[in-house]
């Protein structure tokens, strides 16, 4: 089912209770403050993209890597809520997330297989910027 460990979930719920209390006192500025705070959280995927950009051959190549990362992230952040709204309109069973876990697993398996294929057959890694 992809559930978090109990101690981690309890810790997250405690933090969320405090954040919810703060947002009720902040009023209309709460979404901005929460959004900026969320953007400052460490993100492994962002740090990976920064590492690939830093290892590129030139400043322009590094900028292109980060621009493509921003484009991909923006598309997924726009498509995700849109898809969720469409699925919730279809009914509760489609929006419960069980199919989403399977779809994410399929996407992860496919991208891993592609990376292994490129590394073993073509002797190149798909994540290399060179």
pTM: 0.47
> Number of helices and strands (H, E) in the chain?
5, 0
Helix (H) or strand (E) holding 33: helix 30-39
pLDDT in 10s for each residue of the chain, 130 residues: 566 688 888 888 898 888 888 888 877 888 888 878 877 777 778 888 888 899 999 999 999 999 999 999 898 888 888 887 787 777 655 556 667 778 788 988 998 898 888 888 887 765 554 4
């Amino acid at each position: 089912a992809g559930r978090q460990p109990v101690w981690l979930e309890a810790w997250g719920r405690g933090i969320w209770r405090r954040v919810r209390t703060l947002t009720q006192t902040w009023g209309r500025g709460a979404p901005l403050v929460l959004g900026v705070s969320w953007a400052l959280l460490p993100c492994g995927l962002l740090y990976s993209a920064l590492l690939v950009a830093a290892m590129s051959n030139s400043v322009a190549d590094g900028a292109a890597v980060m621009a493509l990362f921003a484009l991909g992230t923006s598309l997924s952040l726009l498509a995700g809520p849109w898809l969720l709204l469409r699925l919730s309109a279809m009914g509760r069973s489609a929006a419960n997330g069980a199919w989403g876990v399977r779809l994410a697993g399929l996407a992860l398996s496919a991208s891993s297989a592609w990376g292994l294929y490129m590394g073993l057959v073509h002797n190149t890694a798909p994540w290399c910027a060179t």
